[in-house]
Amino acid sequence: MLNNYRPDLNSFLIWLVAILVAVLPIMMLWEIARDGLPHLTLSFLLDEPSNAGRSGGIFPMLVSTFWILGVCLLAVIPIGLGCALYLSECIQAENPIARWVGLSLDVLSGVPSIVFGLFGYAIFALHLGLGFSIVSGGLSLACMVLPLFIRTTEHALRSSPPAYRQAAEALNLSFLGFVARILIPSASRGIAVALIISIGRALAETAVLIFTAGYVTRMPSSLSDSGRALSVHIYDLSMNVSGGQNNAAATALVLVIFIILINIFAHRMSRRWQT
């Protein structure tokens, strides 16, 4: 819009700022790709780390990351979907309960991740006796991701056509039948986008996991075992292990590639969902 004007001094300055601002992030991505790519081989993905992570691969971290993500989603999806359905179908937006729930979710989505880490450490790891484990990591992460998932899912549910609701009403469908057979299928793309965005947020998180999932590098043997996520691995290699930078760069590259794929996927989904 408005891009067919003759360029003037202002537009020159704005172009300049836009280009300069892009320089640092592009440099960052390029440098990570340059340092990480030579080390990113199939055996890097499938090997156990050795020498505190300086050499070897990241297979146990990949496995732990996916387990943590699995636990997190297992907690987030039912509660989040239930809450989103409640907010969009069962209650008016002006209702005080809806407003309080909404406000609480908004605040929750702004709470610093380290606070979730503290909370998760004290409640899940110590109080409930789960220890440093994949379960406590996943649950703490779930608390953090929940508001994001609920808000995006609620948005998706609300944008399904009101005529569906009226038709269901006219046919005297049961509420459960309407939700399960009509509402959720018709909003499924939006819900999928919500899920993908939440996965991206969860994958990127570090501070929550250090004191809940732990940072043991061995292969997790069960869900109550400690496991190190990819992001924690990057942190540990770059801060605490001298000479771990190359593997840190390669791990960072793996994580960035995941995020890029998730972005592309979400874009595809939401484009089809909107048309």
Using CA of residue 89, residue 94, residue 100, residue 103, what is the dihedral sign? Answer: positive
Q: How far is the CB of 199 from other proteins (least distance, A)?
A: 10
Q: What angle do CA 66, 80, 86 make, to 5 degrees?
A: 165
Q: Which among 213, 255, 235 has a CA at the least distance from the CA of 67?
A: 213
Encode 180-215: b = buried (16+ Cβ within 10 Å), e = exposed. Answer: eebbbebbebbbbbbbbbbbbbbbebbbbbbbbbbb
Q: Which among 35, 1, 28, 11 has a CA at the least distance from the CA of 248?
A: 35
Residue closer to other proteins (CB basis): 78 or 222: 78
Q: Which among 103, 138, 130, 159 has a CA at the least distance from the CA of 208?
A: 138
**Alpha carbon separation from 270 to 44, 75, 157, 187 (Å, rounded):** 33, 24, 14, 11
Q: How far is the CB of 157 from other proteins (least distance, A)?
A: 12
Tell me whether residue 15 is exposed, middle or buried, using C-beta atoms within 10 angstroms of its C-beta: 0 to 12, 13 to 18, 19 or more.
exposed
- The partner residues of 49 in beta bridges, in order of sequence, read 56
Q: How far is the CB of 130 from other proteins (least distance, A)?
A: 16
Contact 39, 246 (CB under 8 A): yes
Identity of the residue numbered 253: L
